[in-house]
Structure 1
Amino acid sequence: MSDESQVTWKVTLPCTRSEGQAIADDFSPLALLDPPPVLITREADPAAPDNWLLDAYFELEPDARLLAMLRSLIPSAAGAAPVIEKIRDEDWVTISQQGLEPIHAGRFFVHTPAHRDAVPTDAISFEIDAGRAFGTGQHETTTGCLMALSRLKDEGAHFSNLLDLGTGTGLLAFAAMRLWPVARATASDIDPISIEVTEENAGINKVMLGRSRGQLELVVSPGLERHRLKARAPYDLIIANILAAPLIDLAPSVAGALQAGGRLILAGLLEHQAEKVANAYRRQGLIARFRIERGEWPTLVMRKRRSLSRR
């Protein structure tokens, strides 16, 4: 008999391309489970680019409740029978790492431990493990933010006080710190698990934690409500890779925390949501600078006017 402690359970369901891309960075409420599953989405057949698969890895055999939670992420799979199988842990380690291919975006190269030997010599590299992480660089929104940061650097932008709002794995905060290494940096998330993951990833990537210049302060906070986030304001760079609805709701507080002339990177929105999100920030005195197109997921870069009469 096999030792059940050495077995991982894998559930595979079909999904659409848009569902798979949306899952990559946000899979609540499954992310709140202890331990959470690892979700990997992939294109099943290059000849059918809209037909993807979702692989979910659980430490325990998934029951009807967990399967229902999984199905809630992918409405298109309502009538599909899940494929459930057991795999040994040593196989799971290989599968989980190989399932996340490296991402090269702008100046950055993001990889799992399985691809340490593939790092280009001219890239700024980060190692983000599969583990509990969400926001590993695989999603178009994260890639778009990395490209936006690279472009701002190429344009000669300088930042001294930056905030990664909704940090996930900490990747975008790490990337901004590498480009502007003497800046004060803050990473926040509503989910305490995200902050734990960010702290782990900071150690792996040799990012110093703390409140001084060149260090990253971590804060658990819904939006910008916590005192520490308000005390660190105003920021000259805010990165917010979350979802369209909270981006709109947070527009007054985010704009209020951004200094005049500061830059704002907005992501986590679909193409048809971009104008509504942009308008919410235009009403707060921001103007569009440029956008990064990544399939259905644009990344918006805006600047806060120095005065209402000047552009």
Structure 2
Amino acid sequence: MNQTRIHLTAARQTAEMIYAELERAFEDDGFPVAILELDEARDLHEVSLYVPAEGLGDAEATMREIASRFEPKLSVEAEEVPDIDWVAHSLEGLKPVRAGRFFVHGSHDRSLRPSSGIAIEIEAGLAFGTGHHGTTAGCLEVIERVVRREKPRSALDLGTGSGVLAIAIAKLAQIPVLATDIDPIATRVAGENVRLNNASRLVHTVTATGFHNPAFSAAGPFDLIVANILARPLMKLAPDMARNLSVGGSLVLSGILDSQRDAVLAAYVGQRFRHVSTLHREGWSTLHLKR
């Protein structure tokens, strides 16, 4: 089945924000969204949305409307493409990412792994989270700080996606990590990446919605919880986070636009969380909280 690629080119910060809004807008439709660096020196990044022919009109209008919120004069174009492996397309040319001690890379960059630090190989499959997004890289940096200072004994990666954060915690801290996602495809991909990184002994992947699955009570409470999802779900989950975090534990939250940071923080202060720090990266906030 042929698809149409609707795409635009923008500076990295604008492209990242448009990418996030498109993910939200087309989450229920399941239309793939991809972001690719075209030219580092000129700060050019391409955002693409892949839709079937019957969904083209509405999808293109929505993408134009979203793009205009951030930059009114952005050009949105469409082209018909054959039935392609859109994941391979979106990952093509991605460079390795360094975040603190972590080096996140694809299989094509194994030769570039540093002799020191912690290498994590990620093939995103149908679940994104390769480390290139500002929220993922921000989480990796905060995770390193928390593990070094607090030495947690158990951890939860809520909304694991590709599994990169769970793998990072397991490799750095050598502790058990529960990695959950509401999407069974994401859970499967995370499991594959866990095995690829020889972390199966420590990381347990589960498909679960909210905190109702018995896996949470079996593994918790947790000394460290990391959740890189979206601002609104994070705010709703504040009471559950409080119940599942151990006394003195740390909570790392991301998937939060800078403009949403205060609202998310207020929801957690209401649950008696204390703000430790905020890391700002590419228009996104990563919060470190304790209770």
Normalising by the smaller structure, the TM-score range is: 0.7 to 0.9
Q: 1:74 to 1:218 in 2, by over 3 A?
A: farther
Higher helix share: 2
Q: Residue by residue, what CA displacement relative to the aligned partner does 1:15-68 show, whole Å, maximum 9, x if unpaired?
A: 67555324369825756778x646224366855x5x74213568xxx3141564
Distance in 2 between residues matched to 1:25 and 1:143, nearest whole Å: 19
Root-mean-square deviation (CA, aligned residues, Å) is 3.1
Q: Give the match's secondary structure for 2:46.
A: strand
Q: Which residue of 2 aligns with 1:194?
A: 186
Distance in 2 between residues matched to 1:281 and 1:167, nearest whole Å: 21
Q: Which residue of 2 aligns with 1:283?
A: 270
Distance in 1 between residues matched to 2:285 and 2:135, nearest whole Å: 7
Q: Give the match's secondary structure for 2:281.
A: coil
Q: Which residue of 1 aligns with 2:53?
A: 63
When the two structures are superposed, what TM-score results if normalisation uses the length of structure 2?
Answer: 0.84
Does 2:7 match 1:12?
A: yes
Residue 62 of structure 2 is aligned with which of 69, 72, 75? Answer: 72
Distance in 1 between residues matched to 2:91 and 2:49, nearest whole Å: 14
Larger Rg: 1
- Does the CA-based 8 Å contact 2:4-2:56 persist in structure 1? no
Q: Residue by residue, what CA displacement relative to the aligned partner does 1:73-117 show, whole Å, maximum 9, x if unpaired?
A: 563457955342547979x89754433221100010001122111
The correspondence of residues 56-205 of structure 1 with structure 2, limited to 5 A, is 56=49, 62-65=52-55, 68-69=58-59, 72=62, 75-77=65-67, 80=75, 82-84=77-79, 86=81, 96-155=90-149, 157-181=150-174, 183-205=175-197
Unaligned segments of structure 1, at least 5 residues: 209-213, 305-311
Does 2:225 match 1:231?
A: no
Q: Which residue of 2 aligns with 1:256?
A: 243
Residue 37 of structure 2 is aligned with which of 14, 24, 42? Answer: 42
Q: Give the match's secondary structure for 2:212.
A: coil
Q: Residue by residue, what CA displacement relative to the aligned partner does 1:95-147 show, whole Å, maximum 9, x if unpaired?
A: 54433221100010001122111111112111112432311111111000000
- Does the CA-based 8 Å contact 2:161-2:186 persist in structure 1? yes
Distance in 2 between residues matched to 1:88 and 1:301, nearest whole Å: 42
Q: Give the match's secondary structure for 1:163.
A: strand
The correspondence of residues 203-242 of structure 1 with structure 2, limited to 5 A, is 203-208=195-200, 214-242=201-229
Identity of aligned residues (%): 34
When the two structures are superposed, what TM-score results if normalisation uses the length of structure 1?
Answer: 0.79
Residue 53 of structure 1 is aligned with which of 46, 53, 65? Answer: 46
Q: Residue by residue, what CA displacement relative to the aligned partner does 1:137-162 show, whole Å, maximum 9, x if unpaired?
A: 1111100000001112333x211111
- Does the CA-based 8 Å contact 1:38-1:132 persist in structure 2? no
